[in-house]
Amino acid sequence: MRFILPILLVASVANAQSLPSAACDTLRAERIKYPSSLSPVCSMAGDVRCPLGDMLNKAALKANLGMGGKSDGYFVTSPAGKVAADILMDSTKTGWDVFRDAENKAEVNCGNSIGKITNRPFVYPVPVGPVPPPGETCEQQKAKLQYQIDNAKCVIVWP
């Protein structure tokens, strides 16, 4: 009986998968854009000011992964909907806990998988359109686009 435990530990380490480098690189590049502590905007579940959902979505897109859906407890809002604040997963539902202390420091964790995630739906990432320049609100950007639409000249060409 004493020999079973070491064998099980070796087997579980051998099956561990590292987070794909495209996801890790994207998370690191996105995380450095924000202050070291995200607690002012990430301490309340679903706060749309929390950037973790966007970071997860971008990393999932780059690495052909998904996110773990979640709408109870602590979750973040991503462009694809409500997701766990720190989970990426592949199509087989192998998951990675990619942020240590997500509600506060949100340090990027590119380590091994945490195994199969069976209690969360797979959420596909969604492409996100252009972001308004700094200082320009979404409403201002919409107004510019509407102006272009309203003033567009249409020409009908008959064959």
Dump pLDDT digits (tens) for 71-81. Answer: 888 999 999 99
Q: How much is the average pLDDT of 35-47?
A: 88
What is the mean predicted confidence (pLDDT) over 7-21? 58
Beta-carbon count within 10 A of 31 CB: 20
Question: For position 27, what pLDDT does the model report?
Answer: 96
For residue 71, the tally of other CB atoms under 10 A from its CB is: 12
- pLDDT at site 2: 47
pLDDT at position 76, please?
93
Residue 122 host element (H or E): strand 122-123
- Domain residue limits, the chain: 15-129
Select from 73, 111, 64 the least CA-distant residue to 92.
Answer: 64
Average pLDDT score, the chain: 83
d(CA 83, CA 148): 36
The average pLDDT across 41-65 equals 92
Q: What pLDDT does 158 receive? A: 63
**Where is pLDDT greater, at 87 or 17?**
87
For the residues 63-71, what does the mean pLDDT come to?
Answer: 94
Higher per-residue pLDDT: 41 or 137: 41
pLDDT for res 151: 77
Structure tokens at 66: 């998904």
b/e code 82-102 from CB counts within 10 Å (16+ = b): bbbbbbbbbeebbbbbbbeeb
Nearest to 59 by CA among 95, 20, 92, 33: 20
pLDDT digit string (tens) for 100-139? 998 889 999 998 899 999 999 999 999 887 665 666 677 7
Amino acid 3: pLDDT: 44
- Residue 127: its pLDDT value, please? 87
pLDDT at residue 132 in the model: 58
